[in-house]
Amino acid sequence: MIEQPAPETPPGKPTAASRTTLSHIMTASDTNLLGTVHGGVIMKLVDDAAGAVAGRHSGGPAVTASMDEMAFLEPVRVGDLVHVHAQVNWTGRSSMEVGVRVLAERWNESTPATQVGSAYLVFAAVDEEGKPRPVPPVIPETERDKRRYQEAQIRRTHRLARRRAIKELRAKRAAEGIDD
């Protein structure tokens, strides 16, 4: 069998290169039983904006691997103009963490937008066959970008540690014959 050469890492891209904002006005069809916008509607907008950023940064298809820490800070109402701001915070070999801030403002008022949510998503860049492919390193530009990069590394460490601890617990329970 012939060894395939490791794919080269593409040149780095600055944070601003793929940053984007998705805006959407909320309508009655977006509401839940309480009359506010359904969290799932907001989550889809978050995933859409993050997916666009991941695809832009990686230069091709990227799929959602996980969503961390989706926080809903304030309710969103019918008639709110929602802005979803997304950027790549950190990159690995084929994965990217995308940070998302969700803001809302009344469509017919000139008051400042209020932050109503935030989330962190991990995307994996994939090739035509769905296999992981290398992504360009992200180059943090501002002090805020550098802080986000460092925080993303902490979240990654926690995700991997949590995954490892769960796997070890399951193996231990299976060895003890307690597997459910």
Q: How far apart are CA 88 and CA 19, in angstroms?
A: 7
Average confidence score pLDDT of the chain: 93
Residue range 147-172: mean pLDDT, rounded:
95
Q: Do β-strands 80-91 and 95-106 pair in parallel, antiparallel, or remain unpaired?
A: antiparallel
Query: Residue 80's pLDDT is what?
Result: 96
The predicted-structure confidence for 82-130, as pLDDT tens digits, reads as follows 999 999 999 999 999 999 999 999 988 888 999 999 999 999 999 999 9
Q: Give yes or no for a contact between 122 and 90, defined as CB atoms under 8 angstroms apart.
A: no
Using the predicted structure, report yes or no on whether residue 3 has a pLDDT greater than 60: no
Q: Is the dihedral of CA 99, 66, 117, 110 positive or negative?
A: positive
Using the predicted structure, report yes or no on whether residue 1 has a pLDDT greater than 70: no
Kindly indicate the confidence band of residue 8, based on its pLDDT and cuts at 50, 70 and 90: confident
